[in-house]
Amino acid sequence: MTLYGKRYARLNKRLALVVDDEAVNREMLGFILQDDYDILPAGDGREAMRLLRERGADISVLLLDLLMPVMSGFDVLHEMRTLEAARDIPVIVLTSEARAEVECLKLGAVDFIKKPYNAPEAVLARVNRVVELFEDRQLIEAAENDPLTGLYNRAFFYEYAGQRDRQLSDCEMDAVALDIDRFRLLNEMNGRAYGDRVLRAIGGVLAGFAGEHDGLAARCGSDLFYLYCRHQESYEPLRRRLGQVLDELSDAVRIRVRFGVYPAADKEMEMEHRFDRAKAACDAIRDDYKQCVNVYSDELHAREVYAERLMNDMGEAIASGQFCVYYQPKFNIRGEEPVLCSAEALVRWRHPELGFISPGVFIPLFEQNGLISQLERHIWERAAAQMREWKDRFGVSIPVSVNVSRIDLYDPNLGQWFAGLMEKYALSPGEYWLEITESAYTEDTAQLLAMVSALREAGFKVEMDDFGSGYSSLNMLFMMPVDALKLDMKFVQNIEKSGKNREIIRVLMNLAGCLGVPTIVEGVEEQEQVDMLKSAGCDIIQGYYFSRPLPPEEFERFIKGGKEEC
């Protein structure tokens, strides 16, 4: 029975474990309590422990005699402390020995009933009061605490942290956020039970550290912890302590915990805001494996302010046409002469005040917070409209590929949306390519497989973008239906320097050949690269060697040049 179950039991009766070696005393106490309690009798401490182990979750109160044969009440109090099932049961000691009271209180008893018993009404009222106070306390704790780690939850943490500020008004306090790297993968690879042990271990260390430094700790997300404590010059001792505890859990699994610190937090600032800053510092070193502790800085603050500005401005930027779509041509190099075969639509942002903003800045930002969907739909439509215009003006079809973020693939209406777009601009899905980054394929495989299959069945062509940069397994590659593999430009950038990369590219070309799909390499800049890729069997090249991404009017020179062979 849960805590709530025990409380619900009020509608029926709670269960009281009455432990006394004297049957007369047990029966008399049971008789006194019988209107409000079902009685579980035990004649000695050992029997009591057995019942606590078996039915601890159902028991609302333990009434315990001290002097008993076999196992005394003192021994029961000792042993109960190590028994999880008995931890939440209040103990009332039955005694005529006033001098035993202090020791019993130290061992965790919450009240006493004197022998001989007082008036039954007084005994019953006393037991009920203890049980109700205990249950109320448990309800409050359940509301305040994360059940897995016992740390505060977010809402109560902020409340108590505010109280701590008032209590320690002259003391500098740090806001610290801690996050476990790739916790979802840790859970998947080692099991949920292992993940829970990791969380409990971290919770234990943080609770201890908080206690030593006038602090508080909370678990605020699946693997996000907050710590509010006296200012520390360094969090290295805490990081080492955490490392030791986590190493003890397993030699084989390496766990990285990132720290973000907003030091000597400005107490005028709202508590949530202080921890937003600590978390921003923590998030900023997500990909920096050399650094585990990051302190919030002015530079980070400026980046945050900038990011906030971009997010706020995006809607207006779409409405006022600040986003431009550029087109980078892709050339087929299989023949003697390279032939224009398609283009990739790439977004550019010309901000009226901030100037040109790199997509490398705003796209990851919009991907993080979901704004990317709105922007991408805008780009998809602009690209479709452009294709229509080129068709009408030049009478040719230039296939254009657009980027599709992982988040869009979770939209069950995506296929319908694209179908509507094709209808609106009278395009066929075969000339509209979708670039899906390889890393998207590593999550929720079944759902992605279903979505990509549905899009292909509707006639759209799918390119696996950034192939080779992520973690796709070969199995995944064979399962996932694609129409082209697009290699990450990082492979190409060092192509002349590294013999290994050249070999890897050959292997990838062969792999594409086995799958029966063409390869596209982007980021190609040099003649040597083109020659090498051509000899390796590459089909299509995109990059500055042929052209940078161009605004539509400039791209038209390729169309007008009559080089297209679509």
Partner 1 sequence: MLTIDALRAWGANVDEGLTRCCGNEAFYLRLAGMAAQDGNFARLEEALGAEDYSAAFEAAHALKGVLANLALTPWLAPVSEMTELLRGRQKADCAALLSEARRQRDAFVALCKG
Q: Which stretch binds partner 1 (CB under 8 A): 24-32, 246-254, 289-297, 336-344?
A: 24-32
Query: Rule CB under 8 A: is residue 115 a binding residue for partner 1?
Result: yes
CB of 230 to partner 1, least distance (A): 51
CB of 130 to partner 1, least distance (A): 20
Size of the site for partner 1 (CB under 8 A): 17
Phi, psi dihedral angles at 437 (to 5 degrees): -65, 145
Q: Which residue has the tokens 């594409």?
A: 512
Helix (H) or strand (E) holding 344: strand 339-351
CB of 24 to partner 1, least distance (A): 5
Considering only 6, 15, 16, 21, the residue that binds partner 1 (CB under 8 A) is 21
Q: At what angle do helices 298-319 and 372-394 cross, to 10 degrees?
A: 40
Q: Which of residues 52-81 bind partner 1 (CB under 8 A)?
A: 67, 69
Considering only 11, 24, 98, 102, the residue that binds partner 1 (CB under 8 A) is 24
Query: Rule CB under 8 A: is residue 25 a binding residue for partner 1?
Result: yes
Query: Rule CB under 8 A: is residue 125 a binding residue for partner 1?
Result: no
CA distance 98 to 22: 20
CA distance 118 to 115: 8
Residue closer to partner 1 by CB (options 119, 514) is 119
CA distance 165 to 264: 12
Query: Rule CB under 8 A: is residue 126 a binding residue for partner 1?
Result: no
Query: Rule CB under 8 A: is residue 32 a binding residue for partner 1?
Result: yes
Considering only CA atoms, which of 46, 40, 95 is closest in space to residue 66?
95
CB of 120 to partner 1, least distance (A): 5
Query: Rule CB under 8 A: is residue 23 a binding residue for partner 1?
Result: yes
Query: Rule CB under 8 A: is residue 447 a binding residue for partner 1?
Result: no
Residue 138, token pair as written in the block: 């448990």
Q: Which stretch binds partner 1 (CB under 8 A): 20-28, 45-53, 229-237, 412-420?
A: 20-28
Residue 559, token pair as written in the block: 């169309």
Residues sharing a CB contact under 8 Å with residue 334, sequence separation 6 or more, in sequence order:
539
CB of 28 to partner 1, least distance (A): 6
DSSP string, 30-77: HHHHTTTEEEEEESSHHHHHHHHHHHGGGEEEEEEESS-SSS-HHHHH
CB of 118 to partner 1, least distance (A): 8
DSSP 425: T
Helix (H) or strand (E) holding 492: helix 489-493
Residue closer to partner 1 by CB (options 117, 306) is 117
Query: Rule CB under 8 A: is residue 22 a binding residue for partner 1?
Result: yes
User: Is there a contact between 469 and 488 (Cβ–Cβ < 8 Å)?
Assistant: yes
Residue closer to partner 1 by CB (options 22, 531) is 22
CA distance 41 to 27: 8
For the sheet with 224-230, list strands across it. 216-219, 224-230, 173-180, 257-262, 293-295
Considering only 10, 13, 27, 148, the residue that binds partner 1 (CB under 8 A) is 27
Residue closer to partner 1 by CB (options 128, 153) is 128
CA distance 419 to 65: 78
CB of 207 to partner 1, least distance (A): 42
CB of 67 to partner 1, least distance (A): 6
Considering only 96, 250, 416, 453, the residue that binds partner 1 (CB under 8 A) is 96
Considering only 117, 160, 425, 545, the residue that binds partner 1 (CB under 8 A) is 117
Helices (H), 119-153: 120-144
- Extract the runs of DSSP E, i.e. beta strands, from 212-273: 216-219, 224-230, 257-262
Using CB under 8 A as the criterion, which residues of the chain lie in contact with partner 1 when the complex forms?
A: 21-25, 27-28, 31-32, 67, 69, 96, 115-117, 119-120
